[in-house]
């Protein structure tokens, strides 16, 4: 399947009338104006997304996308590729960090394997959409072809239910911080030194391998995105140096915005996918909220490019969607105080001197 016209379909703007009504309510609550800081703007953002001055977090959807990466052959990870499929099974069994956090948050979790070296066809609870045993090594060839990219994007989009109050995308894939760094470098005009971090905890030699791999990928494929318009540049970067799961996240983020479902973005890899989604369809930017600031080296740079201010900063760097899922409690708190605090009139409290 190569039809990707759906990626460019218009995204509706948030409801600014509902936002204004929510701001007016905030100004009537029994507190000094602005004293709840980000809790106030989180509530008013959700009001605009839901078209309701008193928004609710009724349904949270979490899709964790997994895939392997050929660039792992370059010694860029502290773990073998077999770990990807093993972790897919762990997600499905409920043993991974994000699975625990999803249960605590009452989220609906889906695990999607787009292509790992070790198969997971017999693992209960895994949606298998096999695009291959991981991508090709992008230092030697394009990570995938355009048809496979289109399939990965649409598979991600299919995981977004239009009835959700919030969508979170997670990822798993040995060597995927290397692919994400390469995509970010391609889209931001940077190099490996500016985008690569230690990922799974590689030593100095592993870090050097990652930087060299990213630079090799940029050198081999750079002509595909240089001087291209933003949507084509994003597609070329995903095709040449991306990953199946990074593409699926990108497609999911575009589809969520088109459905009017806000996205809570996780860490470095998810933020790179968010950047690609915005380059494909700029309207997506209005539907993104960022859960946390990852300790992965490149994340600060992606956030800067996106103009994003995350909710939390806990020095997390696990991925999976875990940082975003941790931020759900803060969103619930924001919506609770917005809806349930008394107004000055209701409480009989003076609102001025």
d(C-alpha 4, C-alpha 53), whole Å = 35
Q: Which residues pair with 127 in a beta bridge?
A: 112
The SS3 of residue 166 is strand
SS3 labels along 81-130: CHHHHHHHHHHHHCCCHHHHHHHHHCCEEEEEEEECCCCCCCCCCEEECC
Q: Is 229 part of the annotated catalytic residue set?
A: no
Q: Taking the CB of residue 224, how many other CB atoms lie within 10 A of it?
A: 17
Q: DSSP letters along 257-278, please? A: HHHT--EEE-SHHHHHHHHHHH
Q: Provide CB contacts within 8 A for 94, sequence distance 6+.
A: 100, 103
| 8 Å CB contact between 171 and 271 | no
Spatial contact of 343 and 186, defined as CB atoms under 8 Å apart: no
Two tokens at 78? Answer: 């502290």
- Interior angle at CA 252, CA 60 and CA 177, nearest 5: 100
């370059």: which residue's tokens? 74
Catalytic residue among 40, 239, 245, 320: 320
Q: CA–CA separation, 59 vs 170, rounded Å?
A: 17
Element (H, E) at 49: helix 38-50
Active site residues: 320
């Amino acid at each position: 399947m190569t039809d990707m016209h759906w990626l460019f379909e218009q995204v509706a703007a948030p409801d600014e009338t509902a936002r204004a009504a929510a701001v007016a309510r905030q100004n009537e609550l029994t507190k000094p104006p602005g004293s709840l800081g980000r809790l106030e703007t989180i509530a008013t953002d959700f009001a605009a997304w839901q078209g309701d001055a008193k928004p609710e977090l009724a349904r949270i959807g979490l899709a964790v996308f997994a895939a392997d990466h050929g660039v792992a052959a370059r010694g860029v990870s502290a773990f073998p590729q077999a770990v990807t499929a093993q972790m897919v099974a762990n997600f499905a069994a409920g043993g991974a960090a994000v699975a625990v956090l999803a249960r605590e948050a009452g989220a609906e979790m889906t695990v999607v394997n787009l292509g790992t070296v070790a198969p997971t066809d017999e693992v209960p609870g895994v949606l298998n959409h096999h695009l291959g045993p991981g991508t090709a090594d992008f230092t030697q060839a394009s990570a995938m072809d355009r048809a496979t990219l289109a399939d990965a994007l649409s598979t991600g989009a299919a995981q977004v239910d239009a009835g959700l109050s919030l969508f979170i995308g997670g990822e798993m894939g040995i060597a995927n911080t290397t692919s994400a760094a390469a995509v970010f470098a391609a889209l931001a005009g940077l190099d490996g030194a500016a985008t690569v971090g230690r990922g799974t905890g590689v030593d100095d030699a592993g870090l050097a391998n990652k930087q060299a791999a990213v630079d090799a990928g940029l050198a081999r494929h750079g002509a595909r995105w240089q001087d291209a318009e933003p949507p084509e540049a994003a597609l070329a970067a995903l095709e040449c140096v991306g990953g199946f799961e990074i593409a699926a996240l990108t497609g999911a983020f575009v589809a969520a915005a088109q459905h009017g479902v806000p996205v809570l973005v996780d860490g470095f890899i998810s933020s790179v996918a968010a950047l690609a989604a915005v380059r494909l369809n700029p309207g997506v930017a209005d539907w993104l909220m960022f859960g946390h600031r990852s300790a992965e080296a490149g994340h600060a740079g992606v956030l800067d490019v996106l103009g994003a201010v995350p909710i939390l900063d806990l020095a997390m760097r696990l991925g999976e969607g875990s940082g975003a899922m941790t931020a759900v409690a803060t969103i619930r708190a924001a919506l609770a105080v917005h809806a349930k605090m008394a107004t000055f009139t209701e409480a009989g409290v003076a609102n001025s001197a």
